Amino acid sequence: MNEQERKAVLTVCLMAAFADGSKHERERAEVKSIAEALAGEASINISALVQDVLLKRASLPEVAAMLVTPESRQLAFEMAVCVCDADGAQSSAEHEFLDALRRALGLDAAQANNFSAQAEAIASAPVTPAAAAVTAASTMTREEMDSAILKAAILNGAIELLPESLATMVIIPLQMKLVYRIGKSYGYELDRGHIKDFLATAGVGLTSQYLEQAGRKLLGGLLRSVGGGLLSGLGKQAVSSGMSFASTWALGHVARRYYAGGRTLNAQMLREAFNDMLGEAKNLQGRYLPEMQAQARTLDAGRLLSLVKQG
């Protein structure tokens, strides 16, 4: 992909991120912050793209015209779907935006709807793991919980190395399942809304997390559509920076501290604890990179939904 196409795809993603006018202002601010951070990794003025989108200076027909290959158009649509679904099932406003985007890109309706259905299935997958997993979680020793957190972090680190656009989206529900298992082990029956609030309070925005990880892959030329062929092989750790391993590991340990302490940490304490754990996790990711790479080679991108259901 050339710079014009990358710029167009990022613009589409930002349009998708702001398509839902009811999105929490905290998440909208995080999206803008992530976009500005990505600007330092490319010659594209992403801050200007944010302003163009917010001030509605960018239009779908104009952006679509910048995407000249079928692969880039398909990838733009897939990333937009994942952005809309990252924090849960699509709202009516997001659905209308994606329908307008599909038409502007000239994509086949059946193929586009099939991908959207896959993303919706991942986004709406129950946070409650299989019964056996819940039973195991409720009797976890400290060593068992350490192991569960590390395994989840390595798995998400491996998924981050996959170049498919849908792969990055799988990381979020797997993180939610990990928080559910930890809360369950301390006697708390959590629902999706509570877990989303917990992640957001700790500083893990769902839409912004997807945008950051997918944006780095896009700028590094490491992202491809599920059905397309923009590239092949595993992504490079230097580009993705292993944030999925670090954020998952940090979330797991902060969740243990939060639920073990009777949910007494306030928002500031949660965010500070997460940031401290995140720094520690970043120091660990190099040690476990070989395991992430080895596991990534065994993952089948076509079975991403089943991976979420089994998680």
Cα separation, 191 vs 128, in Å, equals: 8
Residues 76, 45 share a domain: yes
Q: How many domains does the chain have?
A: 2
Question: In this structure, are residues 245 and 156 in contact, taking their beta carbons and an 8 Å threshold?
Answer: yes
Residues 248, 108 share a domain: no
| pTM of the predicted model over 0.75 | no
Span between the terminal Cα atoms of the chain, in Å: 34
The reported pLDDT for the residue numbered 132 is 42
Domain closes at, from 95, 123, 151: 123
Residues 109, 246 share a domain: no
Cα 200 → chain centroid: 13
Residues 268, 146 share a domain: yes
Residues 235, 140 share a domain: yes
Q: What are 30-86's pLDDT values in tens digits?
A: 666 666 666 555 566 777 787 888 888 889 999 999 998 888 898 889 888 988 888
Cα separation, 99 vs 95, in Å, equals: 6
Cα separation, 181 vs 168, in Å, equals: 21
Cα separation, 306 vs 207, in Å, equals: 22
Residues 282, 157 share a domain: yes
Cα separation, 233 vs 230, in Å, equals: 11
Full residue range of the structural domain in which residue 43 is found: 3-123
Nearest to 31 by CA among 215, 271, 226, 296: 215
The reported pLDDT for the residue numbered 34 is 64
Structure tokens belonging to residue 241? 């920076």
Domain closes at, from 65, 98, 123: 123
- Measured CA to CA in angstroms, residue 120 lies from 85, 91, 95, 287 at distances of 6, 11, 11, 34
Domain closes at, from 66, 92, 123: 123
Residues 164, 274 share a domain: yes
Nearest to 251 by CA among 191, 190, 201: 201
Residues 183, 55 share a domain: no
Residues 154, 78 share a domain: no
Confidence of residue 299 (pLDDT cuts 50, 70, 90): confident
Question: In this structure, are residues 6 and 44 in contact, taking their beta carbons and an 8 Å threshold?
Answer: yes
Residues 158, 100 share a domain: no
Residues 185, 242 share a domain: yes
Mean pLDDT of 171-186: 90
Structure tokens belonging to residue 181? 């298992």
Residues 149, 88 share a domain: no
Q: What are 115-162's pLDDT values in tens digits?
A: 888 888 888 877 765 544 444 444 588 899 999 999 999 999 988 888
Cα separation, 135 vs 139, in Å, equals: 7
Question: In this structure, are residues 56 and 46 in contact, taking their beta carbons and an 8 Å threshold?
Answer: no
Cα separation, 9 vs 110, in Å, equals: 21
